[in-house]
Structure 1
Amino acid sequence: MKTTLPIGLGERTEIEAYADFATGAPSSVREALGISSQQFGPALAVTVREDPSTFFDRAGGFGEEPVTAALVARVCDFFREQGASQASFAIAPASLPPNWPEITAELGLTEGPRYVKLGCETETALAARDGIAALDPALRVGPVEPGRAREWATVMMTTFGFTEPEAMTDMAASCVGRPDWQQYAVWEDERIIAVGSVFLRGECAAMFGGATLPEGRGRGAQSALLTARATAAQAAGCRWLVAETGAEDPGEHNTSLHNMLRTGFERLYERVTWVWHG
């Protein structure tokens, strides 16, 4: 009988990955970037105040308790108190209350980008590895050692456009070797051309930060990184894998989404990002 990743577990693991990625940085980096987080029952909010993209200013993990106007208002107050200019709420559609339109109107939340939430059992992903594109023989995949942390982080943050301020790359580099994380890279000769992390938390693992430089695309790098991370999750005793990527509009093709579908992930739902404006 087919089983599906529980919504609450997937949402909670995702936001815990984002929070740990930011708040686990050294104190000097946290201070330079204005990093902070706060728990709201099962939900969790994190801010990186000096990140101009506001990508890391987010709240998630909702759904295991009712989502109420009072709860959402408390999270908005946290963002305001931390000096965030903008932040996002990630809430699975099934967890939105009937009066969600009234809550968004009252608190000034607007619709932002849509993401596809994906999940599968770890064994399913590993069983699918024989059917995915082989890695280009000129490339190799493997874990990242602390001595390559800065190079690894630079590839990740540059690909996603998170290059300013410089402490953003310091934040990413500090994740290499941290408990509950494994980082992988694809090398061409001695140069890193693709990267990916996996956050290992209990029975669920979150795929995080998969990125490939332009010259590495179409060569099987991300599929190899997905398999490497699924293998790490299995070794850590994780039953489930969770991931997210941008939803496709008509006529669009998200390569990351289709790589994950080929690797055994299934679409769970599309989730709207609800944006709070400071």
Structure 2
Amino acid sequence: MSELSMRPTTAMLETIEAEYLYAYLSQAPSGVREHLGMTETRIGGGVAVAMRNNPVSIFSKALGFTEPVGGGLVDQVVDFYRAHRTPTAMIQVAPSAMPADWEAICASHQREPAGSQIKLAAPVAQLRCHTESRLRVEPVSAGDAQEWGTVVMEGFGIQSVSLVRFLSATVGQPGLTPSAFGTVTTWSPEPISSYTVGSPP
């Protein structure tokens, strides 16, 4: 495989995020899924995940579409969230997939663009660190799962026992490993920050 073909593309990054969100919700324990009102489906080549009883909307999102984004696809997404009584959700569209009539599509549903995100990525072999640090990065162990889930939520300014239970339960789940949809945390020597990483399925 050439170096050029290994460079992350917008489509690849969207797929990674979509699949890790789908895996996160679909593999959550049944009790957690029921309590938080979780459900997920595949629409337009992408995914739509919903967490009805979530105090914030970060886990209710539709993204990763491979089919053309148009009014019909957005209608399907909106119908999905309405059917599952999800109070708020995000439709994430990559710049390369943004339709020319996006503003009109949003207006037809009385919605407004919420902003944009910037994602940085590179092949791991090409990453270069020009500073030294005593911090170490390791996979989250079962013994650290509860603390890791708490750190993640605190990082977003969220206090929710239910969401901590949800995140903690993902540690050790099939497909949620450092080489796929891994959970990674940083210590110094106590945990100070936490984040998730993924790789193409």
- TM interval, shorter chain, is 0.7 to 0.9
Q: Is the 8 A contact 2:44 2:73 kept in 1?
A: no
2:173 partner letter: R
Q: Residues 81-120 of structure 1: matches in 2 within 5 Å?
A: 81-120=83-122
Q: Residues 137-156 of structure 1: matches in 2 within 5 Å?
A: 139-156=135-152
Shift of 1:20: 1.8
Is 1:69 equivalent to 2:71 in the alignment?
yes
Q: Is the 8 A contact 2:186 2:194 kept in 1?
A: yes
Q: Residues 96-245 of structure 1: matches in 2 within 5 Å?
A: 96-125=98-127, 128-129=128-129, 131=130, 133-136=131-134, 139-164=135-160, 166-181=161-176, 182=178, 183-189=183-189, 191-202=190-201
Distance 1:200 1:121, change over 3 A: closer
Cα distance between partner residues in 1 of 2:76 and 2:191:
42
Sequence identity of aligned pairs in percent? 30
Distance 1:18 1:9, change over 3 A: same
Aligned position for 1:205 = none
Q: Give the secondary-structure state (helix, strand or coil) at the position aligned to 1:199.
A: coil
Cα distance between partner residues in 1 of 2:199 and 2:173:
11
Distance 1:41 1:111, change over 3 A: closer
Aligned position for 1:269 = none
Shift of 1:33: 0.2
Aligned position for 2:35 = 32
Q: Is the 8 A contact 1:155 1:195 kept in 2?
A: yes
TM-score with structure 2 length normalisation? Answer: 0.87
Q: Give the secondary-structure state (helix, strand or coil) at the position aligned to 2:133.
A: coil
Shift of 1:179: 2.7
2:149 partner letter: A
Cα distance between partner residues in 2 of 1:200 and 1:185:
17
2:67 partner letter: E
Cα distance between partner residues in 1 of 2:137 and 2:89:
35
Shift of 1:197: 2.3
TM-score with structure 1 length normalisation? Answer: 0.65
Q: Between Structure 1 and Structure 2, which shows a larger proportion of strand residues?
A: 1
Cα distance between partner residues in 2 of 1:140 and 1:124:
19
Shift of 1:2: 4.6
1:186 partner letter: T
Q: Is the 8 A contact 1:156 1:195 kept in 2?
A: yes
Aligned partner (choices 11, 22, 36) of residue 25 of structure 2: 22
In structure 1, list runs of 5 or more residues that go unmatched: 203-278
Aligned position for 2:12 = 9
In structure 2, list runs of 5 or more residues that go unmatched: none
Which structure has the higher relative contact order (CA within 8 Å, separation 6+)? 1
Q: Please, what is the CA RMSD of the aligned residues? A: 1.8
Q: 1:17-48: CA deviations, max 9, x gaps?
A: 12222232100000000011111131110111
Q: Is the 8 A contact 1:142 1:184 kept in 2?
A: yes
Q: Give the secondary-structure state (helix, strand or coil) at the position aligned to 1:51.
A: coil
Give the total of aligned pairs.
Answer: 193
Cα distance between partner residues in 2 of 1:6 and 1:92:
11
Cα distance between partner residues in 1 of 2:18 and 2:114:
17
